């Protein structure tokens, strides 16, 4: 039997004459990006539920592969969020043969009635792309019996405060929460657009991109916790079917910076539009801000590009999917990014890391400074390095186990499977992925045995310890030693 590494996702077991001849472990991942295309205003507030067509050859909720970077514009519209993200993923290591992109439907909401001064919209997050010159927000309209059109401002620091200026409404587009300057006269009427992320994640074609016994990355170009929660559910379902997907998204902002114009701080001047840039108050960012606690889910901050409603999650997805399994993906630079909306200090990064959020720091280059999942379990470190190795071991044991189905359940068959799995673990030890056994400690083991209650069933127990990675270096300097 020969063990090799291959540039494909998952694990391959080749058999001949009833026996295993080779086990090949894939180093790369399939990458699926979810994000906005360019859309036509087909149903501009005409009727609730009307969806807008894509300004390109792609169809909503349809996975698209490209043969060259320029084809991304052909499918999703020139300069679209998703087209740019595909190029960013390729620039950071994604394999074009394993890269997929999916645009959700953009849905229109017409005359949604809300009766209170503060509340939450029925659908969120809102579509943020249509912000023209940062002084007008298109595709969102709000009115009541006395106000034909409220002035709208976006706010990102949780539940918005009621604005001071008359006829003004503050909306958190990520949470759907709103607040008007005064009690409305009659019902508030909301017209807006949103992306149907949940339907995209659950589409049948999406579930079939990463096949059983394969590995993959689902990266969503959003920093909404609601979107993360939906994607996490899809990831969990797929993993239960041995479609070993890891989910990536931005962490939801909990703060903002009010932009000044000509040196004037607009915080107190609600009579004019006030642009607010999404930010993170890292000293007050706790796990309660997030709803995800999972081994196979990873959140990042900050993720917004400077002065844009777009994130770096395409680039991050390319980095995580394109690196070899022997690369821990820690302290890695991201290519093709100008400036982030917020610059984290070392203290900021440490604060977010303590809350299971992966910090992205810009200090010269833009670097991903950790690889921890959102899991709060502490029995072993749930990072991408260990998760990736564990997924390969799971698939090795599963596929070798399946190779003995249909054979006689005797000691010879079980010993054969045990030897094969043990050989693969030794290979991973040799490749510096797993800790090898010593005279004093067993860091890995394999037991294949007949089930005590069912003579037609074989149980496989596998234990292993991945090697750690260098995440911190303490330096001690002695002068005149």
pLDDT in tens, the chain (481 residues): 455 666 778 887 776 666 666 677 777 899 999 999 999 987 777 788 889 999 999 999 999 999 999 999 999 999 999 999 999 999 999 999 999 999 999 999 999 999 999 999 999 999 998 776 556 677 888 999 988 889 888 999 999 999 988 899 999 999 999 999 999 999 999 999 999 999 999 999 999 999 999 999 999 999 999 999 999 999 999 999 999 999 999 999 999 988 765 545 544 444 455 678 899 999 988 755 567 999 999 999 999 999 888 999 999 999 999 988 888 899 999 999 989 999 999 999 999 999 999 999 998 899 999 999 999 888 888 899 999 999 999 999 988 888 888 898 999 999 999 999 999 899 899 989 899 999 999 998 999 999 999 999 999 999 999 887 666 666 666 686 6
Contact between 26 and 216 under an 8 Å Cβ cutoff? The reply is no
CATH ID of 30-105+202-260+284-323+331-368, from 3.40.50, 3.90.1640, 3.10.180, 2.20.25 = 3.40.50
Token representation of residue 418: 């045990």
Measuring CA to CA, which residue among 384, 388, 340 is closest to residue 360? Answer: 340
Helix/strand/coil (H/E/C) assignment for every residue in 296-340: CEEEEECCEECCCCCECHHHHHHHHHHCCCCCCCCCEEECCCCCE
Buried b (16+ CB within 10 A) or exposed e, 326-346: ebbbbebebebbeebbbebee
- Please report which residue ranges of 159-224 form alpha helices under DSSP H: 197-202, 204-207
Domain ranges of the chain: 2-26+385-463, 30-105+202-260+284-323+331-368, 106-195
Distance, in Å, from the CA atom of 288 to the CA atom of 102, rounded to the nearest integer, reads: 30
Q: Compute CA distances 400 → 23, 27, 424, whole Å.
A: 9, 19, 10
Contact between 248 and 220 under an 8 Å Cβ cutoff? The reply is yes
Torsion angle of the four alpha carbons 215, 217, 218, 220, in this order, in degrees rounded to the nearest 10? 180
The pLDDT value given to residue 268: 46
Distance, in Å, from the CA atom of 334 to the CA atom of 112, rounded to the nearest integer, reads: 41
User: Can you give the pTM of this predicted structure?
Assistant: 0.91
Distance, in Å, from the CA atom of 30 to the CA atom of 7, rounded to the nearest integer, reads: 11
Distance, in Å, from the CA atom of 120 to the CA atom of 118, rounded to the nearest integer, reads: 7
Token representation of residue 78: 């020139």
Contact between 114 and 166 under an 8 Å Cβ cutoff? The reply is no
Contact between 101 and 64 under an 8 Å Cβ cutoff? The reply is yes
Contact between 105 and 199 under an 8 Å Cβ cutoff? The reply is yes
Q: What is the DSSP letter of 149?
A: S
The distance from CA 24 to its chain's CA centroid, rounded to whole angstroms, is 27
Q: What is the DSSP letter of 340?
A: B
Query: What order of strands is seen across the sheet that includes strand 30-34?
Result: 99-102, 30-34, 214-220, 243-250, 297-301, 358-363, 365-368, 332-334
The pLDDT value given to residue 25: 76
Token representation of residue 113: 């009635």
C-alpha triplet 339, 343, 346: angle, nearest 5° = 135
Rg of the Cα atoms in the chain: 25
Token representation of residue 121: 């919209």
Distance, in Å, from the CA atom of 174 to the CA atom of 178, rounded to the nearest integer, reads: 11
The pLDDT value given to residue 471: 62
Token representation of residue 103: 């645009």
Measuring CA to CA, which residue among 385, 380, 390 is closest to residue 370? Answer: 385
The pLDDT value given to residue 267: 47
Distance, in Å, from the CA atom of 31 to the CA atom of 199, rounded to the nearest integer, reads: 19
């Amino acid at each position: 039997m020969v063990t090799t590494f291959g540039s494909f996702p998952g694990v391959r077991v080749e058999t001949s004459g009833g026996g295993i001849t080779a086990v090949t472990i894939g180093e790369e991942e399939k990458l699926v990006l979810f994000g906005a295309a360019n859309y036509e205003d087909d149903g501009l507030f005409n009727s609730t539920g009307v969806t807008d067509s894509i300004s390109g050859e792609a169809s909503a909720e349809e996975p698209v592969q490209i043969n060259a970077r320029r084809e991304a514009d052909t499918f999703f519209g020139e300069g679209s969020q998703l087209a740019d993200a595909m190029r960013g993923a390729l620039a950071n290591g994604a394999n074009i043969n394993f890269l997929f992109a999916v645009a959700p439907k953009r849905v229109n909401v017409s005359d949604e009635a809300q009766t209170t001064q503060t509340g939450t919209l029925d659908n969120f997050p809102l579509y943020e792309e249509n912000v023209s010159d940062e002084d007008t927000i298109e595709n969102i309209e709000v009115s009541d019996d006395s106000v034909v059109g409220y002035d709208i401002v976006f706010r990102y620091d949780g539940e918005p405060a009621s604005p001071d200026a008359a006829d003004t409404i503050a909306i958190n587009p990520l949470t759907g929460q709103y607040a008007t300057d005064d009690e409305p006269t009659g019902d508030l009427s909301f017209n807006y657009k949103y992306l149907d992320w949940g339907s995209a994640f659950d589409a049948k074609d999406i579930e079939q991109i990463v096949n059983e016994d394969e590995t993959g990355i689902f990266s969503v170009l959003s920093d909404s916790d609601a979107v993360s929660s939906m994607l996490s559910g899809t990831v969990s379902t797929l993993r239960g079917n041995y479609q070993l997907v890891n989910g990536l998204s931005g962490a939801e902002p909990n703060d903002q910076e009010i932009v000044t114009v000509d040196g004037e701080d607009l915080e107190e001047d609600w009579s004019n539009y006030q642009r607010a840039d999404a930010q993170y108050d890292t000293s007050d960012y706790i796990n309660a801000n997030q709803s995800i606690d999972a081994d196979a889910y990873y959140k990042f901050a900050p993720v917004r590009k400077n002065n844009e409603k777009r994130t770096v999650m395409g680039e991050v997805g390319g980095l995580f999917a394109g690196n070899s399994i022997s690369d821990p993906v820690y302290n890695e630079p991201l290519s093709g990014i100008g400036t982030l909306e917020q610059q984290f200090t070392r203290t900021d990064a440490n604060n977010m890391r303590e809350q299971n959020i992966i910090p992205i720091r810009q200090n010269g280059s833009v670097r991903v400074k950790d690889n921890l999942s959102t899991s709060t379990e502490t029995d072993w470190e749930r990072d991408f390095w260990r998760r990736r190795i564990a997924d390969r071991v799971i698939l090795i044991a599963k596929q070798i186990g399946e190779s003995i189905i249909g054979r006689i359940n005797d000691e010879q068959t079980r010993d054969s499977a045990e030897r094969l799995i043990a050989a693969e673990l030794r290979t991973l030890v040799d490749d510096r992925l797993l800790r090898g056994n010593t005279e004093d400690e067993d860091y890995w083991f394999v037991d294949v045995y007949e089930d005590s209650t069912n003579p037609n069933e074989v149980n496989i127990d596998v234990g292993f310890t991945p090697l750690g990675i260098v995440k911190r270096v303490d330096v001690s300097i002695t002068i005149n030693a």
